[in-house]
């Protein structure tokens, strides 16, 4: 299952969207709960099954979801669940505790709906580059169509009700995945993250909540959804993301002016490592790919395809390697095959 996803050329890492050299992706996620049903955190198995059946029924009759597939997570293998997590289509919570949960997913991976995660519904749309507006248009259409057939938990003076108080109101979480290697290289990133936190925005790692910023990737999202409109949430986040983007661009220019030789050395060393390694972990590979991506953006290297480089950020992940190989791999085997793929894709022949 999902083998075709590996060859998808239009994912959030395609590099085709606006400002995608820094803002790799934009995502809008809406949380919704069905009225008159216990929320997932308090629901028993029978109650969750009723919600699953209801969403499955509504899914089939929702025009905006006509090209999507409905799955029960218990029918998805452990490897495929991890694969979906690596592609940012489900959360860690949905993968680790999957009983009574479902997933609606589009073949182009832009749309995914988690059923019975923290809330009954988590509707997500994700696009390459800086395009929160397009994400919102699609998720808003899905939400409006589903509201015609589902009575969502809502109070006029509060808004949509959710399991977590921080999501009450619009229940909208907007986020952008930024690649910030220059801010990391110049040691300015911590100051930027502190400023973001002070103005009530949240920064998370490569795989979302509770994860590290691997490969110099940072997810920035709104923290407040109560007392503000959807348009305000998106506008406020866009402003912050634009400022961080400008800071990253300034840091890149500073590196070229004052530390060009040092930067070039790091880029070529990373390329040499990836072209010649025989064993490499995903963490180390991501670090080198991040520097290589910066070198490509700044014209230090120019004979590597952006499409190939971006695809490697996902292909070197553990579940992806096992899907490519068609078998379960031990950690040492993954490190070996990861090195093979990197050498092959970046210009060196395998032994």
Are 98 and 226 within one domain? Answer: yes
DSSP assignment string, 46-69: HHHHHHHHHHHHHHHT-GGGTTEE
The C-alpha atoms of residue 168 and residue 165 are separated, in whole angstroms, by 5
Q: In the prediction, which pLDDT does 7 show?
A: 85
Write the Ramachandran bin of 328: left for phi over 0, alpha for psi from -120 to 50, otherwise beta. beta
CATH of the domain at 40: 3.30.590.10
- The answer to whether residue 129 sits within a structural domain is yes
Question: What does the pLDDT read at residue 18?
Answer: 94
Q: What is the pLDDT of residues 66-107, one digit of tens each?
A: 989 999 999 999 999 999 999 999 999 999 888 899 999 999
Q: Count CB neighbours of 298 within 10 A.
A: 18
Containing structural domain, residue 142: 3-252
Here the tokens at position 168 are: 């009450």
- Asked whether residue 351 is domain-assigned, the answer is no
- Taking only the tens place, the pLDDT of each residue in 190-225 is 999 999 999 989 998 876 554 556 789 999 999 999
71 and 95 both lie in a single domain: yes
Alpha carbons 111 and 116: distance in angstroms, whole number: 17
Of 180, 83, 172, 81, the closest CA to residue 132 belongs to 172
119 & 199 share domain: yes
Q: Which residues of the chain have pLDDT under 70?
A: 207-213, 348-351
Q: Which two tokens stand for residue 324?
A: 């490519």
Q: pTM to 2 decimals?
A: 0.93
Claim to verify: residue 19 and residue 124 sit in the same structural domain? yes
User: Tokens standing for 256?
Assistant: 């070229």
């Amino acid at each position: 299952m999902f083998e075709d996803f590996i060859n998808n050329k239009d994912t959030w890492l395609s590099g085709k969207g606006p400002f995608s050299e820094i803002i790799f992706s934009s995502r809008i996620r809406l949380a919704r709960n069905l009225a008159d049903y216990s929320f997932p955190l308090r629901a028993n198995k029978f109650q969750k099954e009723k919600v699953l059946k209801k969403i499955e029924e509504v899914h089939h009759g929702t025009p905006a979801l006509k090209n999507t597939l409905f799955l029960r997570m218990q029918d998805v293998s452990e490897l495929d669940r991890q694969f979906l997590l690596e592609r940012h289509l489900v959360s860690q919570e949905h993968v680790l505790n999957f009983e009574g949960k479902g997933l609606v997913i589009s073949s182009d991976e832009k749309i995914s709906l988690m059923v019975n995660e923290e809330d009954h519904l988590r509707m997500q749309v994700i696009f390459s580059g800086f395009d929160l507006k397009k994400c919102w248009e699609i998720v808003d259409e899905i939400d409006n169509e589903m509201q015609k057939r589902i009575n969502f938990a809502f109070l006029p003076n509060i808004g949509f009700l959710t399991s977590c108080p921080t999501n009450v109101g619009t229940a909208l979480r907007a986020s952008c995945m930024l690649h910030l290697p220059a801010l990391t290289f110049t040691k300015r990133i911590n100051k930027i993250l502190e400023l973001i936190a002070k103005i009530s925005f949240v920064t998370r790692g490569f795989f979302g909540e509770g994860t590290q910023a691997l490969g110099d990737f940072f997810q920035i999202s709104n923290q407040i959804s109560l007392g503000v409109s959807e348009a305000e949430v998106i506008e406020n986040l866009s402003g912050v993301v634009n400022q961080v983007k400008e800071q990253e661009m300034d840091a890149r220019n500073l590196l070229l002016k004052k530390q060009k030789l040092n930067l070039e050395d790091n880029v070529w060393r990373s390329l040499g490592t990836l072209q010649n390694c025989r064993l490499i972990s995903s963490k180390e590979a991501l670090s080198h790919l991040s520097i290589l991506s910066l070198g490509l953006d700044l014209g230090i290297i120019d004979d590597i395809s952006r499409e190939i480089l971006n695809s490697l950020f996902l292909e070197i992940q553990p579940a992806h390697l096992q899907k490519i190989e068609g078998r379960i791999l031990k950690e040492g085997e993954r490190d070996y095959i990861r090195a093979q793929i990197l050498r092959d894709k970046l210009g060196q022949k395998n032994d």
